[in-house]
Structure 1
Amino acid sequence: MNFTNPLVYGVPCFLGLILIELVYSKHHKKEKNKDLYDWKDLTASLTMGIGSAILAPLAKTIAFILVFSFTYEIFNPEINGVRTNIMGYQSFGYAWYIWILCQLADDFSYYWFHRQNHNVRFLWAAHIVHHSSDNFNLGTAVRNGWFTIFYKPFFYMWIPAIGFPPEMLVVCLGIEALWQFQLHSVYVPKMGFIEKFMNTHTMHQVHHAQNIEYMDKNHGGFLNIFDKIFGTWKELDETIDIKYGVTKAPNSYNPLVILTHEYKDIWNDMKKSKNWYHKFMYAFAAPGWSHDGSTLTIKQQQNLKKTNKAT
């Protein structure tokens, strides 16, 4: 069964909504969000978004044919199929409740994919692109790195392996991306009861903040349940003045600099020590790790802040 990725229809909507938010922000001068958009920053974000759109067909080929379909088939060949002979079924099929379960499985995988992008520096080097703007708007939503597409599918391989059809997973990934896009707006207030279980706009503001108490929080896709279970959920405190972006920004509007600056920083840090373990940790430990304590990880900074408060 073939399905169309919802992102095919989403891209024109993305551009239209960015334009609407841009015009609205520029014509409401009395609001604190009148400087919501910076033209150079928006141009950089759109350039990287266009690059991602160009790479999308390649990503779909890698994800669908080489990863998801291969995994789906290898676990259920015609002879000695794992699912048929051990689990007792070939596929979960396409019933409506299977779609819901697949979306939940997708959301679980998205949480861990997103969280590891913040916890493993080499992955962070690809993901930092999305956080590198000090503006939080729908333009920032399309400011995506070009290298995450090459490893993201591997976080989802278990889903077709247990029997969800690959094309179903691709559609669920598209739906997840649509939800993530619209979260990047400061114009949507807290949503009452919805906040109990959904990942909302205010929660995503927390995620994009560089305030130390907010960093590495709210990694969820649709739901906030996994953040709450695994200890990474944080509610927006409206008394705190949010500063968006990253603490070590690229300080450039050049898309190539934005895309690669963290890889350059990793290389420079690896040269600080001749110890191969240190070199490995500079690349794959949490961002901020250092062999001599000259820089700290987010968790170390948060623990230090708690200690200072206690004393």
Structure 2
Amino acid sequence: MTEFPDIILYAIPFFIVSMLLELYVTTKEHIKTYETKDAFSSIAMGLGNVFLGYFSKALVLLCFFYIYENFRLFTIPVVWWSFILIFFADDFSYYWFHRISHSCRLFWASHVVHHSSQHYNLSTALRQTWSGGFYSFIFWLWLPLIGFHPGMILLQMSISLLYQFWIHTEAINKMPKWFEAIMNTPSHHRVHHGSNPLYLDRNHAGILIIWDKLFGTFQPELDDEKVIYGLVKNIDTYNPIKIAFIEWIYMFKDAFSGHKSIKNRLLYLIKPPGWKHDGTGTLSDDLRANWLKDKEHGLQK
């Protein structure tokens, strides 16, 4: 494992310098993107994620190595071409993890942390879950099964996370057209962080935007639809503990309080955010459909 360094730790000075540079650029261009309390909350979430990562990564490696040593179907050598293969395999896994994290409340309970800021800047990239690392890795279990070395997998997962840091900014409008067509960019990811009905649950890409285009979840950023960052219902707190666990509390309260069947209790863990067993809930698809209907009838500005 010594051949596969934890590049996220080495990148911390780069994160700090980049945020300072972004703050300078956005201030000079009169773009108000940072709010002090919000930024410190995001940084606190990031530090907590790094600390808990020592424990979650131990669990991940244990599971990866167990599958790799006992059940792998092939042995993929650690050579140059295998890094190309794992680049695409990891990014494909990330897309489905990310997409399901928006459509299954059990995964949303941890992922919602990253969407909880009403601001969009490089510090938002650091607003990471404290719980997701202990179970979201299941979307990558097929990689050691087919023969990728666990160290390679963890390295590529870190590369993906590192790539996604720079796209959390309003300082960059659009990249060249060819780049926008293939890669995830600040413009594409701003859409993903939008609470606008049109933008909900779109652009789940990690590095490559091609998956969204292939699987029907791509939405370009529109000039006449300014992104409103945050959640449909914002949590309005800067407390890192609340940010980390408030959705878990809401989810378990919905699932295990009141008079419900066992099936409905379980469905609160599986169904998308907003689902209610009595049919009164509103899903993101409903919000988008209503928005598009109003747009068609000229009710939207």
TM-score category by the smaller chain? over 0.9
- Structure 1 residue 295: Cα displacement: 2.3
Q: Which residue of 2 aligns with 1:174?
A: 158
For residue 165 of structure 2, give the secondary structure of its aligned residue in structure 1.
Answer: helix
CA distance in 1: counterparts of 2:97 and 2:85, whole angstroms: 18
Structure 1, unmatched stretches of 5+, are 77-82, 84-89
CA distance in 2: counterparts of 1:67 and 1:145, whole angstroms: 20
Q: Which residue of 1 aligns with 2:41?
A: 44
Query: Post-superposition, which runs of at least 4 consecutive aligned residues in structure 1 deviate over 6 A?
Result: none
Moved more, 300-309 or 114-123: 300-309
Identity of aligned residues (%): 37
For residue 239 of structure 1, give the secondary structure of its aligned residue in structure 2.
Answer: coil
| C-alpha contact 2:26 2:171 (8 A) present in aligned 1 | no
- Structure 1 residue 25: Cα displacement: 2.7
CA distance in 2: counterparts of 1:286 and 1:45, whole angstroms: 25
Q: Which residue of 1 aligns with 2:280?
A: 294
CA distance in 2: counterparts of 1:44 and 1:130, whole angstroms: 11
Q: Tell me if 1:56 matches 2:71.
A: no
Residues 273 and 216 from structure 1, CA distance in 2 versus in 1: closer, same or farther, beyond 3 angstroms?
farther
| C-alpha contact 1:273 1:279 (8 A) present in aligned 2 | no
Residues 170 and 190 from structure 1, CA distance in 2 versus in 1: closer, same or farther, beyond 3 angstroms?
same
CA distance in 2: counterparts of 1:100 and 1:255, whole angstroms: 37
**Residue type of the alignment partner of 1:116:** I
What's the CA shift string for 1:209-235, capped at 9, x where partnerless?
A: 000000100001110111111111111
What's the CA shift string for 1:168-226, capped at 9, x where partnerless?
A: 11111111011111110111122211111111110000000000000100001110111
**Residue type of the alignment partner of 1:247:** V
CA distance in 2: counterparts of 1:55 and 1:269, whole angstroms: 27
Q: Which residue of 2 aligns with 1:115?
A: 99
Query: Which of 54, 68, 86 is equivalent to 1:102?
Result: 86
- Structure 1 residue 266: Cα displacement: 1.7
Q: Tell me if 1:134 matches 2:118.
A: yes
Write out aligned runs for 1:1-311 (5 A).
2-26=3-27, 28=28, 31=30, 33=31, 35-64=32-61, 66-76=62-72, 83=73, 90-191=74-175, 192-270=177-255, 271-309=257-295
Give the aligned CA root-mean-square deviation in angstroms. 1.6
Structure 2, unmatched stretches of 5+, are none
| C-alpha contact 2:122 2:169 (8 A) present in aligned 1 | yes
- Which structure has the larger Rg over C-alpha atoms? 1
- Structure 1 residue 275: Cα displacement: 2.5
| C-alpha contact 1:137 1:186 (8 A) present in aligned 2 | yes
CA distance in 2: counterparts of 1:131 and 1:220, whole angstroms: 15
CA distance in 2: counterparts of 1:177 and 1:200, whole angstroms: 13
| C-alpha contact 1:46 1:142 (8 A) present in aligned 2 | yes
CA distance in 1: counterparts of 2:79 and 2:252, whole angstroms: 49
- Structure 1 residue 43: Cα displacement: 1.0
| C-alpha contact 2:163 2:207 (8 A) present in aligned 1 | yes
CA distance in 1: counterparts of 2:277 and 2:294, whole angstroms: 23
Q: Which residue of 2 aligns with 1:80?
A: none
CA distance in 1: counterparts of 2:125 and 2:64, whole angstroms: 26
TM-score using structure 1 length: 0.90
**Residue type of the alignment partner of 2:14:** C
- Structure 1 residue 63: Cα displacement: 1.4
**Residue type of the alignment partner of 2:35:** D
- Structure 1 residue 127: Cα displacement: 0.7
Q: How many residues align?
A: 294
CA distance in 1: counterparts of 2:259 and 2:120, whole angstroms: 37
TM-score using structure 2 length: 0.93
**Residue type of the alignment partner of 1:69:** F
**Residue type of the alignment partner of 2:20:** L
- Structure 1 residue 245: Cα displacement: 0.4
CA distance in 2: counterparts of 1:108 and 1:3, whole angstroms: 21
- Structure 1 residue 292: Cα displacement: 2.7
CA distance in 2: counterparts of 1:272 and 1:190, whole angstroms: 49
